Amino acid sequence: MSLFALSEDHLAIRDMARAFAAETLALKAVEWDERKHFPVEEMREAAALGMGGVYVREDVGGSGLTRLDATLIFEALATGCPTVAAFISIHNMASWMIDAYGSDEQRRRFLPKLATMEHIASYCLTEPGAGSDAAALRTRARREGDVYVVDGVKQFISGAGVSDLYVVMVRTGEEGAGGISTLVIPKDAPGLSFGANEKKMGWNAQPTRQVIFDGCRVPIENRLGPEGVGFKIAMAGLDGGRLNIAACSLGGAQAALDKSLAYLGERKAFGKKLQEFQALQFRLADMATELEAARTFLWRAASALDAKAPDATRLCAMAKRFGTDVGFDVANQALQLHGGYGYLADYGVEKIVRDLRVHQILEGSNEIMRVIIARSLIGRGQGSGM
């Protein structure tokens, strides 16, 4: 593939996801936000089109697509609803971790129902006292015979209380990253419970709760890989998750820009349409340029992750930082272009602004993205991208 052109297959994948977003997500997005409704059935419809296991291998029901394909899919889905698109991304991230690090038996046991989204998966890393400093997590899993007994709390978990499986980072050994392991914990595990649904600024179409482990008993056969590699697994999952959340930001921002174009073409002031004012034309031009720059860089980072390039993690962090900042800024400008109408829920722009704001925080805050990027640059001793 040319670095700056999509193939016919890429375009077909994008158009399929965009059509689903327009026909199934966009029409109900504002209603779901108001009702705080989690549209599980609609997500299963997306899974029936291959979006429940985008880069899970085909032998267990996945689509076997690339990370570049995934960015196209999640951007397209987010034009309909960034919140729903982002949750499908999280589900895909958790599913991929099982596919990449699980045994053949684990893959066959968990992934077919995850690929169809008959079962839904959540990713559990953050804790009340361990957000950006993820290696300091304290949820403890101690061995008792052929089970782990898990105690601790995970915070800000998307899908908690509804999801069927939880991919959980726990401490099985010493302090620091080397003492962390990964367990797949089913919803009905003894000792597993959930906090109240959080009241949030945005992302209202998916539940966010604490996941609480109180003597939760989990078979040892549910551990992914050996003990002590859980932090590596968690970070590998986040490389792709960061690309996807950037894609969701761009999709939401593109929808907001499209709404602005339509609005400025209809609304009149001082005897002419708003789109005829050069100052507003310049703002639209800058918004579109920023989106295109972020989109092109996102494809570059996704291609690096597909190629397992040595700088893939740095590029994913860059793409996440840049894409989510640009996405929020463009959506916020779109609200301004709508004037007072932009502040009304009926137009759907303020929802996009609220939804995209959290993208600058989750999957690693944008401050942490800068830490990752800077460490990579300093470690290499120079900053050239060549």
**Mind telling me the catalytic residues?**
363
Whole-number Å distance between alpha carbons of 241 and 246: 9
Whole-number Å distance between alpha carbons of 137 and 160: 19
Residues whose CB falls within 8 Å of the CB of residue 81, separated by 6 or more in sequence, listed in order: 21, 25, 26, 28, 29, 32, 205, 355
Residues whose CB falls within 8 Å of the CB of residue 56, separated by 6 or more in sequence, listed in order: 62, 63, 64, 92, 95, 96, 99, 111, 114, 115
Number of H helices, E strands in the chain: 11, 10
DSSP 2-27: -TT---HHHHHHHHHHHHHIIIIITT
| The token pair that represents 285 in the structure block | 């031009």
Q: For the packed helices 230-266 and 278-306, what is the interaxial angle rounded to 10 degrees?
A: 160
CA-based R_g, the chain, Å: 21
Residue 169, phi then psi, degrees to nearest 5: -90, 125
Strands 208-219 and 223-224: what pairing?
unpaired
CB 259 within 8 A of CB 338: yes
How far from 182 is each of 124, 218, 283, CA to CA, in Å?
A: 10, 11, 47
- The C-alpha angle with vertex 158 and arms to 209 and 15, in degrees rounded to 5, equals 155
Beta-bridge mates of residue 158: 208
Whole-number Å distance between alpha carbons of 162 and 90: 14
| The token pair that represents 352 in the structure block | 């996009």
Tokens 């549910």, residue located:
222
